[in-house]
Structure 1
Amino acid sequence: MDQGRACEAVVPAFGASRVPEQARGAAPLGDVRGEHTHSEPPPPRTVHRHSVRGQVLAALRTALVDGELVPGEVYSAPVLAERFGVSATPVREAMQQLSIEGAVEVVPNRGFRVTARSPRELAELAEVRAMIEVPVMLRLARTVPAGRWTELRPLAEATTEAAATGDRAGYAECDRAFHRAVLALSGNEQLVQVADDLHRRSQWPLTAAPVARRADLIADAAEHLALLDALCARDLPVVQSLVREHFTGSAL
């Protein structure tokens, strides 16, 4: 996969999103792409439904980052389903996943309430992320050849491009893609998954939190390039300082 495209959003922004016609059953996916033949069975319905759920989940996550889903507010699955042009089932399934991740909580007979994060929770997430990622990055700085860090530069540059447009949701995706790529060099898939979950949680908006300014996003993105330079140079003090400051001062 082209690393420069790894951070692209799965679906459009929440306010403008609508699940494609083929995902709603207008035509089999194979027919839409011109790939289906009489010798090939149609796509299984379970895969079809999971595709819709995945698109809805991606759109809801974007809405969380953008603040379109307001902390403390309760949202009904049927109402959200109408906005997406799908049935309520994939919306409920996506919301259940967000509930597992801690983004929303179930309100019986009403829907789902968006979790209201406190400044203390944000600080705790930053502390835990630092405890996990700082030692790993210091170890990688000692062992990973400079050429491997250079390969990650397109991902760092993608965060800069997203920040320049002020695209909060796009920046959030690129930011996580960069950190996943860095931690993946450890070879520890469990570490990558845990760190990515913490990272995603730290991107959800606070109650009445001000929208991140473009300048804040640009400054945050610049730290990625600086971190790569420090990792290439094996400058351990700078690596440690940059990672800690990146977590505590993140724009998202």
Structure 2
Amino acid sequence: MNQGAQCSAAGTGLPEPGISPVRVPQQQAATPEARERGTYAAAVRGEHPAAEAPIPGLRPVVQRSSVRGQILDALRTALVTGELTPGTVYSAPALGDRFGVSATPVREAMQQLAQEGAVEVVPNRGFRVVRRDARELAELAEVRSLLEVPVLLRLATAAPAERWAELRPLAEATVLAASAGCRATYAEADRAFHRALLSLAGNDQLVRVADDLHRRAQWPLTTGRHLRTELMADAAQHAALLDALMCGDGERVRALLREHFRPAI
């Protein structure tokens, strides 16, 4: 089974032919009042006719923001697994059909990915997945290093050993995810571990910026013939990093992070 099939089987990939599409939760029936005013369908989509104000108290079960969020998560997973192929143009209506939703939340999710540099708008056609290159990955790794290394070096001598020990389950989770060989599952566990590390600094803005950079760095340049081996090696560095942080060994922390942030090409 290829990488995309593995992750799809786990419920994390973009639907392919023969695989059940991702669908939003089933909507409840409209109230008689909403039917009479003809606004329920628009309210469920998060839209309201220009001539009418929203009905007070009417709260749709699935709002546009939640649908868009689900689609955005699925599309990001598909980027990580390579199921969204670099160089390929995807239209919002076609993807909406595969997800079982309208084109609107798909288009909004794709526009968010365009802001993140994952796709580019192709007028009158849709969105093209951007081809990654070694230079871009190296730049992302450099920026991550500039942000995270100084913080972790400071925390290595400031945070007590027991705080680092509390993060051991997250490091072990990355090992389990790596052993499964699914890039999407590992990507989520990897980011969770790094968010936890940085959260000890008490700077929420730092955590958000670093996590965004981390996500961008996870979009694969190639699928890799030895994916599981690469993921296992990356996960092993998490445990080693925790050991160095617990000991307050700044030089070891610096060396491990330098290796850890090196982009895999």
Other-structure match for 1:7: none
Deviations 1:60-82 (A, max 9, x none): 00000000001111100000001
How many correspondences in the alignment?
Answer: 227
The aligned residue for residue 124 of structure 1 is 139
Determine the C-alpha separation between the residues in 1 that align with 2:24 and 2:80: 22
Number of the residue aligned with 1:13: 13
SS state at 1:248 partner: coil
> Is 1:44 aligned to 2:59, yes or no?
yes
Relative distance call for 1:42 and 1:18 in structure 2 (3 A) is farther
Deviations 1:10-68 (Å, cap 9, x if unpaired)? 9632124412442xx3558xxxxxxxxxxxx9772396221111111110000000000
> Could you state the TM-score of these two structures normalised by the residue count of structure 1?
0.84
Q: 1:141 to 1:213 in 2, by over 3 A?
A: same
2:235 matched to 1:231?
Answer: no
Cross-structure match for 1:192 = 207
1:164 aligns with 2:168: no
Q: Give 5+ residue unaligned stretches, structure 1.
A: 1-9, 29-40
Q: 1:87 to 1:188 in 2, by over 3 A?
A: same
* Identity among equivalent pairs (%): 64
User: By how many angstroms is 1:209 displaced?
Assistant: 5.1
Q: Could you say what the CA RMSD is over the residues aligned between the two structures, in angstroms?
A: 2.1
| Cα distance change of structure 1 residues 234 and 99 upon mapping to structure 2, 3 Å threshold | same
CA gap of 1:136–1:164, structure 2 versus 1, over 3 A, is same
Question: Which has the higher mean CA deviation after the structures are superposed, 192-201 or 10-19?
Answer: 10-19
Going from structure 1 to structure 2, the CA distance change for 1:117 and 1:160 (only over 3 Å counts) comes to same
Structure 2 vs 1, CA of residues 112 and 236 (structure 1 numbering), >3 Å: closer, same or farther? same
Deviations 1:172-226, CA, capped at 9 Å, x for gaps: 01101110110111111111111111111111122x5535510110110010011
Confirm or deny that 1:138 pairs with 2:142.
Answer: no
Distance 1:198 1:220, change over 3 A: same
CA distance 1:27–1:56, shift in 2 (3 Å): farther
Equivalent positions of 1:81-96 (< 5 A) are: 81-96=96-111
Q: Distance in 2 between the 1:212 and 1:111 partners?
A: 33
Structure with higher helix content: 1
SS in 2 for 1:86: coil
